[in-house]
Chains A and B, each alone.
Chain A
């Protein structure tokens, strides 16, 4: 069974800083890895999906990397803004691709 861990559980940074969120997983035989954002009281918004054949994926100020051999993924946020404040979750699918295993998330606060 896949186990997903996210570190740190919470992070507070001043506006403008670059930051890295970490995600590790135990089973490296994954289809892909997906990063989500959750705002309070809202659903999960998909940010980036990295296929198993990819090393990284970029969207705007976000860059996600995937290292299957070490069982790690990182989400890099450049020039952080207060609007980036949210909980960030990573999820790895099962080997059948039919269910996701989630980390407990990193709660990010960007201070103006």
Chain B
């Protein structure tokens, strides 16, 4: 958990609004991942960056989700427009291949 900071920790927005989640990892990790846990379900993969490039975005639910990683450092995940089913906890993780260290997550509530 240490070394990956996510903010905000909690966001409540109305349906149709835009929200941007941010992940700040410690330096030195080329791999950066986004995951999501919706209520009652398991944590699921969204996408994987290697440095600033998207290596795998097969888990992104739809085109309302846009992830970027500027200069291979911090990353943002924007949801626009947000829908009710987007509510959940969004996690960022870094690490070498096949190992992950997670941030504390952002709890997103869409009302």
Which A residues contact B (CB, under 8 angstroms)?
Answer: 4, 31-32, 34, 36, 41-46, 49, 89, 91, 93, 97-105
Contacts and interface: CB of A to CB of B under 8 A. Distances in A.
Contacts of A41: 104, 107
**Interface size range on B against A:** 20 to 34
A106 B47 CA distance: 25
15 contacts: A34-B99, A41-B107, A42-B1, A42-B105, A43-B105, A45-B102, A91-B43, A93-B97, A93-B98, A97-B98, A98-B48, A99-B33, A99-B56, A100-B43, A103-B42
A4 B42 contact: yes
A99 B105 contact: no
Contact of A45 (B1, B45, B55): B1
Contact of A100 (B1, B41, B45): B45
A102 B98 contact: no
Contact of B97 (A44, A98, A102): A98
Interface of B: 1, 4, 6, 31, 33, 35, 41-45, 48, 55-56, 59, 91, 93, 97-105, 107
A45 B45 CA distance: 17
A93 B35 CA distance: 13
B1 A44 contact: yes
* Main SS at interface, chain B: strand
Contacts of B91: 43-44
Contact of A104 (B42, B45, B48, B105): B42
A96 to B, nearest CB: 8
Contacts of A45: 1, 102
A69 B14 CA distance: 48
Given A4-B42, A103-B42, A46 B97 contact: no
A43 B45 contact: no
A100 B104 contact: no
